[in-house]
Every structure is written in C-alpha cells, then in structure tokens.
Structure 1
Amino acid sequence: MKKTANTDYFTHPRTLNGLEQFAQSIHQPLAPMLARFGLTVEVLNDPQAIIPYSAAVGLLETCALEWKRPDLGIQLGRLKNLEYLGAVGLVARLSDTVGDACHAIQMNISIHSNAYYLDIDPGSVDTDESGSIAYIPRPRSGCGPQMVELSLCRIYQYLSLTSGVNALKIREVNVQHAPIGSMKLAQQFFDCPVRFSMSRNAIFFDPHLLKAQTVIRDSAYTSIIQAYLQQERLQAESDVVVVTRRLTAQLLSTGSCTRDSIAEFLHLHPRTLHRRLLEHSTSFAEIQDEYRHARATEWVRGRNFSLAQISLMLGYANQSAFSSAYRRWTGSSPRHDRAQYERTNAEAGKHALTHRTT
C-alpha cells in the first residue's frame, strides 16, 4: 500500500519566500498553481498563516516540473535572508556564537514547521572531523527533492549570515535523493562536492565554524527588539484584549498558548493580565475559546485543512477534544458539518452546470 503524506504536518508560508517573485521573473502565473493546493497569494503573504506542509511540498514539485525548472529549490535557496524563519529567526540574533545560533534554531524550529528537525554534529577540532547539520524530514511528511534542496541552501545561508562570511567554504553536501536534471547550479552555489543518493541530507563544514562569534548579535538589533517589546507593552496598556487576541492567534499552533506565556511575553504578572482582562469583561479562556470557535467554523467549511490538522492548529491535545469543543459551539460534529458543506457545494456546482447547458 502506498504511504501518503501525514496531513498533521504544517509550515509557515514563509517557507515559500521568493516563489512569487521567481514566477514573475519567468512570466508564469502563480495564482492558478496555488489554487491546486488550496492556497492563495494572500495566504502566501500572511505572516500569521500556517499551511499544510504537504501543500508546500506539492507546490514546489509541481512548479519545478511544469515550469521545467528542476533547480527551483536551489533558485529560491539563493535568497540570503532570515525572513523565511519569521519570529524564530530572532533567536539567532541573541546568540554569541554560530553554534549557539544553530542550536537556538534547532530548539525552536517546530514553531516554524513541525515537518522536520535539524541534527547538529559539532565534529572535532582536535581531529579535524567535520561538523554537520542534517535536515531530517519526519516520517510520512511527504518531503520532496525541491524542499530538501531549498532547505540545504537555507542552512548554508544561515551559516553564512551568522558567521559573516559571504562566500563561506564548506566541505561537502550530501543529498538522499538522486540527481534531478542538471545539478550545475547546485555545484556552483555550494562550491564543494555535492553527493547524491546518500544516507541523509546534510552540510559538512570546518569544526571551527560553530565556535566562531556570530556577527548578527549587535547593540543596534537589541535596541530594535527592546523597542518592539516596549511597543507591545504600551499597546497592552491601552487595549490588552486586542493584544491577547493577536498573541493567541500566533501561539495556539505552537502548543505554548497559555495565560502565563502571554503574560510573560507582555512582561506582566499573570494575575495582572487576568485583572486587566476582567476590566474589559473577558478572560484569557474566553478569548481563546472565541478564537478557536471562529477559526474552526471557517476552516471546517473550507477545504485547505484536514480535521486532524485543524485540531493541531487550534492547540488541542487530540482530535477528540476538538470535536467535543466543536459540538459545544455548534451542536454538531465537525465531520458532519464538513460533509454537509461539501454536499451543498457539489449540488450548487451541478445546478450551475445545468443552468449553463440549458
């Protein structure tokens, strides 16, 4: 039996950074391609959205095939920035060494996507054994060659940005899949041996690299972070409900959306946050429940996410807990409502087709 991708895996649209611009550069319409995978340009540019990892993988593979660009992952991976990591990229700027920055990303990458993890081997300075960072897709994630090559490029860019070396010399790149088309661009980009059909996807480098001081930790960036946090605190003073709602939307899918975590982010004591919310005749529990209700109703009616994925995105421990909450809100089960919406849409489609042919 063929193994299908696990629909519980998600990623942020930032994973696809550069795809819209690349499509424009080769005069290819992106919107119809996105629609095949239940995506839109608006979702692609929404900093708070999350999308199925399988949709991101399928989109890259389909674009590469139909646009006849087998090196699409490398093309997108050449973009040198940390924007694709979103807020997760901030932790790198608070690290002293390249190794610390890499470990910080390793510990927080699940906020960006839960479809893979990073394995870091520091190597040995004494024996000159290479250090490495491996990109390891989780079982049944459905990860394809384009996503692997894009991710390896971004690991390289991350090492280059944190170390401050524009043309960083690495020792070797290993890729699990077989070559796809000409790999001339990959050889040029990495400027080292690129070996295919290997046991894992990894970049190998001088073991001294992880001990190097990171160049992206500086006082200028620290002040930006402090100003951002101050702005959040000031906004919390003026409208704590709005901020709590926004943070709830951002944190629910990470599994760390609690009253205490939001209070900590706002530099407030949990009891202080609770008191200020009560002053507005609400509470964290009510705000969380309202957000879940609104998103669940929207997502169950749509076709972008499976019910298991909706449960995960809304921070429920399992699908049964989500179903119980949905029944409390609507008096019906999410499975029943989705089936009903699909039947209604199908009947509307048949009616429209009949109307056009008569």
Structure 2
Amino acid sequence: MPLIRSAGLRGFRATVAELGGDAEAYAHAAGLPAAALDADDMLVNDDALARTLEVAAHCLSCPDLGLRVAVRQDLGTLGPLALAIQHSPTAGDALERTSRYLFVHAEAHSLTLEADPYGQPGTVALRYDIGRGRPAPVQGTDLCLGFLHRAIITLIGPYDLRSVELPYRPRAPLTAYQDFFGAPVRIERPSVMLRMPAGLLRHPLDRGDPQLSHLALAFLAEQAARTGPGITQQVHAALVQTLGTAPAEIGAIAALLNLHPRTLQRRLRAHGTTFAAVLDDVRRAAAHRYLTGTDTPLGQVAGLLGLSEQSALTRCCRRWFGATPTAIRRASGST
C-alpha cells in the first residue's frame, strides 16, 4: 500500500466548496479519512487519495478538477523538501533534490530527467511516475503535473515549455490543458512528461542560502534514513495526528492502532527502529515546519511538539539541526 502525505490534497476542500460539492462525502466514498482534508502530514493511502479526486470530478461533472486544485497549491505542499528546493544553487540542483527525496512526500512517486523522446536538440524531458505497473489516474496525474509546472514557474519564472505528454485521453477539452500549461499537449503517449529546454537546468536560483540548504538536506537525509514500511509509517501517522493534543506515549498510540504496547514495540524493533525514534522524527519534522514556516512563539512551539518547556526545544534543535531555534528561524527568514 503506497502512502502519500495528505498535503497532496491541499486546496481540494476549497475547490470542491466553490463548485458546490461535499468534500468529506467524496473522501468517505473513496475510503480516505476526512481528517486528511485539513492536515498536511497524515500518511494516507495513495490510491484512496487519487480515488477521492476521481469521485469528486465525476460527481461535480468537473473533468479538469486536478488542474483546478493545482492552482491552489504552492511549494509548501512538499513540506521540508520545499526548503531544500528553494535554496538550491540552480534549477538543475532543485530538480535533482526533488528526484532524490520525492519519496519522503509520496512513497511510490518518482521524478527523473531523461533525454528528449523525440530527439530534439537542446531539449530534455522531466518524467513523472506514480509507481511502476500502476495506471496513471487522470485527476491525480493532472494535479501532480500542474503542481510541478507551477513550481518551476515559482522558482525561475515563465519558461519555454515545449510540450506536455500525457498517457491518457483527458475528459476535459484539450484547450483547458493548453491554456493551463501554455504549451502543446500530446495525449496517449508512453509516459507523463514535461519537455523543456536543457539550458533551464543551469538557471541560477538567486535566493539560495547555503546554510539553510545544508540544514534542509541534512534533515531530509536523516528523515529518509528513518523511513520504513508498514508499522513504522502507521505509528508516524498516528503521532502526527495527536502530537501536542494527547500524551506522546506508546500506550496511547498502541491503543489507536489496536495493539498491545509490547507488540507495537516488538514490531518496530523488527523494522530496525523504536517508538522513541519515530517520535523524535515526528517532532523534528514538526519543529522544522514551525520554525521555518511560521512565527509561532517558541514556548508555544515546544507545547505543540509535546515538550515540557522551551529549554527542551532548544536542546532538541541543537541535537537535530546543530543550531538553536532562534538561529534556525532567523536563517529561514521567518522572523
């Protein structure tokens, strides 16, 4: 069961409301927890998320729903990966980092840079896959590709997109896609791709901060090393949902998962981790988000992480990031 962060549905509720629909009803019909509509860091079934988009598009008679939701998303949808992207030296580095760490956001998804399938000089293809052997869902693919296109524009401005390659025949008129992407759209192709100038990869990103880039990459590398299948991800998701609102104790999480605490700890050990390690990972991710993306007072951040006091937050940040919470916030420009 491939998992994806619920941030992938950012903007869905607002888009559905604008169209007069019921987002929670569509989520329920697709087997997606309604809580995922208003959270970023829940790990949910990738297929259920894709089905939610398809159910909504059908019920609302809105065949371009994925593109509409993409308009409401920004780089922040990618969580900690967004910071590593924004502070890359060049556009090529940003794409390489996205390719390397995209699985932290979406377990089965991948982004690869390939030679142009048509052999056009000076052109490269950015290929998006949702997992080998899985058919590309129309709305989910539209959303991911629309998000990717808009993210590139956010980083470097308008670019000379050569064409959009889709493996299916869209239900919406092709003009809707051409207007969205500002480029020709080719359908029923072998892969999902954006074809673009090769020179784009050398485009410098002037806002890059080497120190912040280093922090973001170190965080992602550590998070990736801790990522595990099955029970680890279930505990991770349960802690994300309850952090700061309920005791971060193994007994409480085991009860949520309908397991005895000793059974839960034994299963975690079988995957090479512990409850304490997963909790530490969840707290680190949340701290990074609060410190780099909000101006929430540090004492309140400590409480949101389930820490007893601000000094505990400072000790944790020194261990996680090698810097104080104030220094991390200052480096991110969130002060």
What TM-score do you get using the length of structure 2 for normalisation? Answer: 0.64
Q: Distance in 2 between matches of 1:92 and 1:37?
A: 32
* Change beyond 3 A, Cα 1:251–1:209: closer
Q: Which amino acid aligns with 1:298?
A: L
- The alignment partner of 1:208 has SS state of helix
CA apart distance, 1:169: 2.6
Cα distance, 1:252–1:22 mapped onto 2, change above 3 Å: farther
SS at match of 2:159: coil
Structure 2 distance, partners of 1:176, 1:120, is 17
Instruction: Could you tell me which runs of 5 or more consecutive residues in structure 1 were left unpaired when the two chains were aligned.
Output: 1-7, 229-247, 259-286, 302-309, 323-358
**Is residue 54–residue 143 contact of structure 1 (8 Å, CA) maintained in 2?**
no
Q: Is residue 129 of structure 2 the alignment partner of residue 136 of structure 1?
A: yes
Contact 1:130/1:205 (8 A) holds in 2: yes
How far apart, in 1, do the equivalents of 2:135 and 2:268 lie? Answer: 23
Kindly indicate whether the alpha-carbon contact (under 8 Å) linking 2:164 and 2:195 is maintained by their aligned counterparts in 1.
Answer: yes
* Contact 2:10–2:73 (Cα < 8 Å) also in 1: no
Provide the C-alpha distance between the structure 2 equivalents of 1:89 and 1:191, rounded to a whole number of angstroms.
Answer: 24
Q: Write the distance in 2 (CA, Å) between the matches of 1:315 and 1:154.
A: 37
Q: In the alignment, is the contact (CA less than 8 A) between 2:3 and 2:44 conserved in 1?
A: yes
- What percentage of aligned pairs have identical amino acids? 20
The residue number in structure 2 matching 1:201 is 192
Q: 2:178 aligned with 1:187, yes or no?
A: yes
Query: Aligned pair count?
Result: 248
CA shift digits 1:223-242 (9 cap, x unpaired) = 9x98x9xxxxxxxxxxxxxx
The one of 208, 212, 219 aligned to 2:203: 212
Query: Per the alignment, do residues 180 and 207 of structure 1 end up closer, same or farther by CA in structure 2, a change over 3 Å counting?
Result: same
How far off its partner does 1:96 sit?
Answer: 0.2
In the alignment, the residues of structure 2 paired with residue 162 and residue 18 of structure 1 have an alpha-carbon distance, to the nearest angstrom, of 20
Aligned to 2:16: 23
Partner residue in 1 for 2:227: 254
Q: 1:60 & 1:315 partners in 2: Cα distance?
A: 36
Does 2:87 match 1:94? Answer: yes
Q: Aligned in 2, Cα 1:315/1:168: closer, same or farther, shift over 3 Å?
A: farther
TM-score by length of 1: 0.60
Partner amino acid, structure 2, of 1:195: R
- 1:33 alignment counterpart: 26
Q: For structure 2, list consecutive stretches of 5 or more residues without a partner in the other structure.
A: 217-221, 233-246, 275-335
Letter of the 2:97 counterpart: A
**Partner SS for 1:57:** helix
Q: Cα deviations across residues 304-329 of structure 1 (Å, max 9, x unaligned)? A: xxxxxx99x969649xx99xxxxxxx
CA contact (8 A) 2:32 2:45 kept: no
Amino acid at match of 2:26: M
Question: How far apart are the structure 1 equivalents of 2:13 and 2:186?
Answer: 30
Task: Label 1:182 to 1:300 Cα distance change in 2 as closer, same or farther (>3 A).
Answer: farther
- Asked if 1:57 corresponds to 2:50, the answer is yes
Aligned to 1:159: 152
Q: Quick one: structure 1 residues 315 and 193, their matched pair in 2 at CA, closer, same or farther if it must change by over 3 Å? A: farther
Counterpart residue type for residue 185 of structure 1: A
Are residues 9 and 81 of structure 1, via their aligned partners in 2, closer, same or farther at CA, if it must alter by over 3 Å?
A: same
2-structure distance, mates of 1:315, 1:109:
26
* CA shift in 2, pair 1:254/1:170, >3 Å: same
Query: Which shifted more, 92-101 or 38-47?
Result: 38-47
Provide closer, same or farther for how the CA distance between residues 77 and 315 of structure 1 changes in structure 2, counting only shifts above 3 A: farther
Which has the higher Rg, Structure 1 or Structure 2? 1
Q: Judging changes above 3 Å, is the alpha-carbon distance between structure 1 residues 119 and 315 closer, same or farther for their aligned structure 2 residues?
A: farther
1:66 equivalent to 2:59? Answer: yes
C-alpha separation in 2, matches of 1:142 and 1:55:
14
In 2: Cα distance, 1:314 partner to 1:37 partner: 29
Residues 12, 141 of structure 1: alpha-carbon distance in 2 compared, 3 angstrom cutoff: farther
Superimposed CA distance per residue, residues 264-287 of structure 1 (whole angstroms, 9 cap, x where no aligned partner): xxxxxxxxxxxxxxxxxxxxxxx9
Q: Equivalents in 1 of 2:115, 2:105: separation in Å?
A: 23
Residue 177 of structure 2 aligns to a residue whose secondary structure is: helix
Q: Distance in 1 between matches of 2:212 and 2:30?
A: 39
Cα distance change of structure 1 residues 59 and 173 upon mapping to structure 2, 3 Å threshold = same
Conservation of the 8 A alpha-carbon contact between 2:16 and 2:56: no
